[in-house]
Amino acid sequence: MADPIDSVPDEEFRRQLLWLRTNYGTVVDSQRLGRLVQGFRSQKGIYKPTGSRYALWVRQTLRGVYPDEEPQYFPDGSWTYRYSPEGREGRIDMSLDTNGALLRGMEDRIPLGVLRQLSSALGSRDYEILGLAYVEKFDGTHFVLHGESISWTELPAAEAVSVPFRPFEESPGKLAPQIRRLRDQRFTVAVRKAYHERCSLCDVGYRVRGRVLGVEAAHIIPVGDRGTSADIRNGMLLCSNHHVLFDEFAWTPDEDLRVRIVDDDDFRKSAEANCILDCEGKKLPNLPRPSQLQPAAEALKYRLERFDRKD
């Protein structure tokens, strides 16, 4: 499909949208955002550039007057987020031009950026860039925003639609390297969200000065076997230690998500100091909620067959 961004006549508006898309899932401090994102220093809530029909971005602050909600994620990496309209004196006023800009974007299918302020014990003012979203509807109290999927070239599926699992890439060799890198980055972000930044096997997620360290998105059907990077259900979040062992088929989850360990005396002896041996036969302790984001049965079956051949 044609990229909806291309239909925006203003060049700077398009450039800003592309920056917000490229930085999907990243955390940026407010000072840097003030230098890079148009209107960020002067505007809170909904930002509509002067002369534009559409809103460029919305942001939620921790001290916002209007309550918004946590995003809900879907297998294709898209998400929905209910954002409260702006108002006067604590009451929603749909006649405001900022609210009208969101309604016009809904009608014309023009995306906008979504930013959320994060709490920090250190007092920093950091924002997570959720990425680009489309206004799906106004439900009477909130705008329902639907974020782009991992494969942003396709419009996200409707909220109520069950996304079919397609385990293999149809033509991965045709993707330009920069597109592949960006999509792999988006896959990593989506998997990290689904697993709440903790390893699926050992439930460890390190944080240093507010940053998450040492966890990586692993493909259940490997990329080398054309495993998809467009669906969270072909991914698991693992610490770097257990990711290496996973890639070498030292262990795998079975179709019931219980841990299987390779029947190899050298590995078992060398792994005595690692918690992995204690996990054998047990169900993975950290899995996504809701269950629709958990590993797909087809992916687990494929992985298990590969594991058994190597065993």
Ordered structural domains, the chain, with CATH: 4-147 (2.30.280.10), 172-310 (no CATH)
Between β-strands 57-60 and 112-118, what pairing exists: parallel, antiparallel or unpaired?
parallel
CA distance 205 to 52: 43
Residue 235 in tokens:
């991914």
8-state DSSP, 26: -
Residues 129, 60: contact at Cβ < 8 Å? no
Report yes or no: 217 and 188 within 8 Å, Cβ to Cβ: yes
In which residue are the tokens 């006023």 written? 93
**Residue 46: CB atoms within 10 Å:** 24
Local structure of 304: helix, strand or coil:
helix
| 224-266 pLDDT tens trace | 999 999 999 999 999 999 999 999 999 999 999 999 999 999 9
Mean pLDDT computed over every residue of the chain: 90
The closest alpha carbon to 251, from 304, 202, 196, belongs to 304
Residue 294: its H or E element: none
Condensed to tens digits (0 to 9), the pLDDT of residues 139-163 reads 999 999 999 999 887 766 665 567 8
Threshold 0.85, pTM exceeds:
yes
Q: Please give the structure tokens belonging to residue 173.
A: 């060799």
Per-residue pLDDT at 40 exceeds 90:
yes
Report the pLDDT value the prediction gives residue 9, as an integer from 0 to 100. Answer: 86
CA Rg value for the chain: 21
Contact 28, 192 (CB under 8 A): no
Are the beta carbons of 132 and 117 closer than 8 angstroms?
no
Q: What's the pLDDT score for residue 179?
A: 83
pLDDT (tens digit, 9 = 90+) per residue, 47-84?
999 999 999 999 998 876 666 678 999 999 999 999 99
Show Cβ contacts of residue 73 under 8 Å, excluding neighbours closer than 6 positions.
Answer: 79, 190, 193, 194, 232, 293
Q: Decide: helix, strand or coil at residue 196.
A: coil
Residue 119 has pLDDT above 90, yes or no: no
CB 218 within 8 A of CB 247: yes
Spatial CA neighbour of 56 closest among 85, 94, 14: 14
pLDDT band at 127 (very low <50, low <70, confident <90, very high): very high
Q: Is the pLDDT of residue 276 over 80?
A: yes
What is the tens place of the pLDDT at every residue in 288-304?
A: 998 999 999 999 999 99
Predicted local confidence at residue 220, as pLDDT: 98
